A and B are shown apart, each in its own frame.
Chain A
Amino acid sequence: MNSLERSAIELVRDPIDTDRLLTRARRSDCGAVLMFLGTTREWTGENQTQFLEYDAYESMAISEIQKLVDEAFLRWPIHFVSIVHRLGRVGLGEASVAIVVSSPHRGPAFQAGEWLIDTLKECVPIWKKDFSATGSSAWLHPSAVAPEKS
């Protein structure tokens, strides 16, 4: 148990080691450890995903995630946050992002965790490309009318 670090932010290219993240999050002054995993889902409407590929503006992604973490500490009485985002290919059911929040009481952990993933999805320069079962692929740019197909 490392009681000194208050946050850990990483971009990785291997499967996210959730056991390690949970171990790192334990604190003797925390009664709650919350983990959220964003995973690759097979169906979105009529689109059948085979796998996703993630790309990032890495330096800015790290600094933007750090800003979110700093704000979460201001907003909620939490003691530790870890955010790990995977880049490259992520298969069905695999985690592309892990968010872990530790806090003395569970309310702030749930609230901070939800806010962190919601805001990450709006603000952090990371993009996913959907490779569908039909063989086509498309970058997802949500405010566009339709996904960017290749």
Chain B
Amino acid sequence: MALKVLLFAAARQRVGAGSVELEIALPTKVAIVSSALVQRYPDLQGLVATSRWAIDQTFVDPDASIHGNEEIALIPPVSGG
């Protein structure tokens, strides 16, 4: 199943796109999506390690479940304000 992950800031810049699609068996967990992202884009490793994840615009823990119809986003360390 192609899972879409939204990317922002340095992650978006490194990948060159505002989102990527990862092939992942469902249901899955955030931790697995995180690993799959780093496997596909190894130079995101350091950034992903310090980033949080959001599902449907809410911060989640790595063990949060994903069923396939959620909006998933990688949230690198924020710097607003």
Give me the interface of A with B, judged by CB distance under 8 Å.
38, 54-57, 59-61, 63, 85, 96-97, 117, 120-129, 139-144, 148, 150
Number of B residues with CB within 8 Å of any CB on chain A: 19
In angstroms, Cα B10 to Cα A1, docked, is 42
Cross-interface CB contact of A54 among B10, B50, B57, B80, cutoff 8 Å: B80
Residue of B nearest to A123 (CB): B78
A selection of 24 A-B contacts at a CB cut-off of 8 Å is: A57-B73, A60-B54, A60-B57, A61-B80, A63-B57, A96-B80, A97-B80, A117-B81, A123-B78, A124-B80, A124-B81, A125-B54, A125-B75, A126-B79, A126-B81, A139-B9, A139-B10, A139-B79, A141-B9, A142-B79, A143-B77, A144-B46, A144-B77, A148-B13
- Give chain B interface residues in 40-81, CB to chain A under 8 Å: 46-47, 50, 54, 57-58, 73, 75-81
CA distance A57 to B74 in the complex (A): 10
In this complex, the member of A61, A122, A129, A139 whose beta carbon has the largest number of chain B beta carbons within 10 angstroms is: A139
Q: Would you call B6 an interface residue if the criterion is a C-beta within 8 Å of the partner chain's C-beta atoms?
A: yes
How many residue pairs bridge A and B at CB < 8 Å? 86
Question: With contacts A121-B78, A141-B47 known, what are 19 further pairs, Cβ within 8 A?
Answer: A54-B80, A57-B54, A57-B57, A57-B75, A60-B54, A60-B75, A97-B81, A124-B81, A125-B80, A127-B10, A127-B76, A127-B80, A128-B79, A128-B80, A141-B50, A144-B46, A148-B9, A148-B10, A148-B47
